[in-house]
Amino acid sequence: MNQLKKEVRVFMYFIKKALKISKTYPVVVLISSVLSAVAPFIAIIFPKYIIDELLGKQRLDVFVWLIAVAAGTAFAVNLLTKRCERYLNVKYKEVINEFEARTALLLSGVTYEKLESPDFIDLKERAMSPIINRGILYTFFSAVPVFMKNVITLTSALIVICTFDLTVVIGVLLVLAVSAYFNSMFQRKDIILQKDTIQANKVFVYNIRIAEERNIAKDVRLNDLSEFIMSGIREWDRNELKNRAKPFYRNRHFYEGVKNFFAVLQNFVVYAYIGVRAIQKSISIGSFSMYISAAATFGSAASKTIGLFAEMRQNCRYLEDYMLLNETPVEAENGKKLRVSDNKIEIEFKNVSFSYPKTHKPILKNVNLKIRNGETLSIVGRNGAGKTTLIKLLSRLFKPDSGEILLNGVNISDIDYKEYIRLLAIVFQDFKIFELTVADNVGFENYDERRVEQALEKAGILEFINTLPQKTKTYIGKSSDKDGTFFSGGQLQKIAIARTICKDSPMVLLDEPTASLDPISESEVYEKFNELIGEKTAIYISHRMSSCKFCDRIVFINNGEIEEEGSHDELMKRGGKYAKMFMLQADSYKNA
């Protein structure tokens, strides 16, 4: 019963969402269902009167009139049904597209911390697997009018049969009850098989993506990985055949065999019973024809209704995770909607500690740090020291386990999210460039062309962009436009830097902003560093220690704790870990 309640909740959730997306959807479903249900009764009711007329008074005008009315009604109903079906297909597409768009919007807005959570990743895979692999949304919505049609047909056929004998109805229902039991067994086993193969499907999709992605093509070829990748795909094929395909079709064939046996048994009993009544002259030949057709229609509609009911329950089980995914709150809905002035930007980390989800190793331990308005701060340290994590916490991608981060004395979690991210311009080491135009990548929506060009110029990439035929309208890559251009890693990094400049936020966070640049380009960026940043508050992370000279203050992090702090000259005089790391890097350049 609890499971049925869950399924009803899922069903009502998607129906209510569909009603909000399209107000005309339920009206068309109802009309289509009624018209589809009427069609079989033209072939049930009219033949009775036609046969009785032929075997009775044999009036030609009445016979022709009955044929004409039957044909005309059938034509009109069929025409209207087809029109509704065409319109419904458009509505399915509209509703499903909106669901997918809302899911994409949710996934782009859900907290980054949740996005990296193993539990959320598992939920997302469970939710999206039936959507992608089974087209379950279309199956769900297209099943609703068919189910309604069969319920109407079932009810109408029952009324016709009740004018004859309820014994037929009872016999048919007994047979269908047995069939329904086997059907529910098959559906349960199918869902178990589907969920058991989700992880294997993830591995398969990943192997396919490796084989297809251009960014990995060099590694695949230079390491001769084709056969290695194919072995993974073949292994998936073998496991899919053994663990899912064979059990699935074995279960289905058994169920189909049982269902067909009972369908034959049902028809035999019904035909025999009604036939005996006709021989005994209890009913006319026309009535015999009508009751036989009605009984067959009732049996077929009842069987389909039970099957569809089981299928819809199965669809609801598949969609339960999709519903839970879509009910996940997004970051923009959190916080106290507080606003802060951007005239002055002061940051303070107070006793901040943090560990990544599902791990026990602390990445940051009781960090205390103040960043003054207009200050340029460099954060350095070994790999894994916690530098990038500090930026992720400040940008609200994650929340501290303990302690707090303040902006102008206000906890950043209490500030309106959209207002807060407006204050930040960030370039991460693993920045992403979209396969859109250069201008779209720099300015995004509602950009100003002049500002985009100025940002590209400051980043040192405008001169190259202007050599391209479409200039800033050039598409990056060829997925969106066959005339697009492939850019080098260094050029893409300059575009990412230009994006940060164009946003013109009062606080700038740069995580390895010159990692992909050659030494000359890197030097150009450093020389323009003060021009790029201006009087903004800036936090800068780099493994290249020479870049620290441009910063007002340097913080050296080791094992999640701040060990040294000061200007470049001050830290070099101390001769601590920063000085040793700087000298080691300087020596490597000299020896090279």
Asked if residue 451 is part of any domain, the answer here is yes
pLDDT digits (tens, 9 = 90+) for 31-48: 888 888 888 877 777 777
The per-residue pLDDT for 58 is: 76
Asked if residue 28 is part of any domain, the answer here is yes
Domain co-membership, 130 together with 242: yes
Asked if residue 153 is part of any domain, the answer here is yes
The per-residue pLDDT for 354 is: 92
What is the β-pairing status of strands 376-381 and 553-558? Answer: parallel
Tell me the pLDDT band of 318, cut-offs 50, 70 and 90: confident
Within its chain, how far is the Cα of 200 from the centroid?
Answer: 19
Asked if residue 178 is part of any domain, the answer here is yes
- On the question of pLDDT at 170 being above 60, the answer is yes
More confident residue, 526 or 70: 70
Contact (CB, 8 A) for 160 and 291: yes
Contact (CB, 8 A) for 317 and 309: no
Beta bridge partners of 4: none
Average pLDDT over residues 413-422: 85
**What does the alpha-carbon distance between residue 444 and residue 454 come to, in Å, rounded to a whole number?**
15
Residue-range definition of the domain harbouring residue 19: 2-327
What is the β-pairing status of strands 537-541 and 376-381? Answer: parallel
Tell me the pLDDT band of 193, cut-offs 50, 70 and 90: low
Domain co-membership, 436 together with 307: no
* Cβ-Cβ contacts under 8 Å for 380 (sequence gap 6 or more): 387, 541, 542, 543, 545, 548, 554, 555, 556, 557, 578, 581
Q: Characterize 513-536 residue by residue with b for buried, 16 or more Cβ atoms within 10 angstroms of its Cβ, and e for exposed.
A: bbbbbeeebbebbbeebeebbeeb
Kindly state the percentage of the chain with pLDDT values over 90.
5
Going by the DSSP 8-state scheme, the letter that residue 404 receives in this structure is: E
The per-residue pLDDT for 584 is: 80
Domain co-membership, 55 together with 167: yes
Least trusted range by pLDDT, from 4-18, 84-98, 174-188, 527-541: 174-188
Nearest CA to 390 out of 360, 424, 349, 330 is that of 349
Asked if residue 355 is part of any domain, the answer here is no
CA dihedral 29, 32, 36, 38 (to 10 degrees): 110
Least trusted range by pLDDT, from 7-16, 170-179, 365-374, 383-392: 170-179
- On the question of pLDDT at 547 being above 80, the answer is no
Task: Look at residues 327, 361, 388 and tell me which one is the last residue of a structural domain.
Answer: 327
Name the average pLDDT for the chain.
79
pLDDT digits (tens, 9 = 90+) for 442-464: 888 667 888 888 888 888 889 89
What is the rounded end-to-end Cα distance, in angstroms, of the chain?
Answer: 74
Asked if residue 213 is part of any domain, the answer here is yes
Asked if residue 137 is part of any domain, the answer here is yes
Tell me the pLDDT band of 548, cut-offs 50, 70 and 90: confident
| Residue 195: CATH number of its domain | 1.20.1560.10
Angle, CA of 395, 396 and 401, to the nearest 5°: 125
Domain co-membership, 111 together with 252: yes
Q: In what order do the strands lie in the sheet with 424-427?
A: 424-427, 507-511, 537-541, 376-381, 553-558, 561-566
**What does the alpha-carbon distance between residue 312 and residue 139 come to, in Å, rounded to a whole number?**
9
Asked if residue 588 is part of any domain, the answer here is no
**What does the alpha-carbon distance between residue 511 and residue 507 come to, in Å, rounded to a whole number?**
13
Going by the DSSP 8-state scheme, the letter that residue 245 receives in this structure is: I
Domain co-membership, 434 together with 323: no
Domain co-membership, 294 together with 440: no
Angle, CA of 587, 588 and 589, to the nearest 5°: 90
Task: Look at residues 327, 361, 383 and tell me which one is the last residue of a structural domain.
Answer: 327
- On the question of pLDDT at 18 being above 80, the answer is yes
Least trusted range by pLDDT, from 36-45, 484-493, 521-530: 521-530
| Residue 484: CATH number of its domain | 3.40.50.300
Task: Look at residues 311, 327, 343 and tell me which one is the last residue of a structural domain.
Answer: 327
- On the question of pLDDT at 222 being above 60, the answer is no
What total of structural domains would you count in the chain?
A: 2
Domain co-membership, 317 together with 452: no
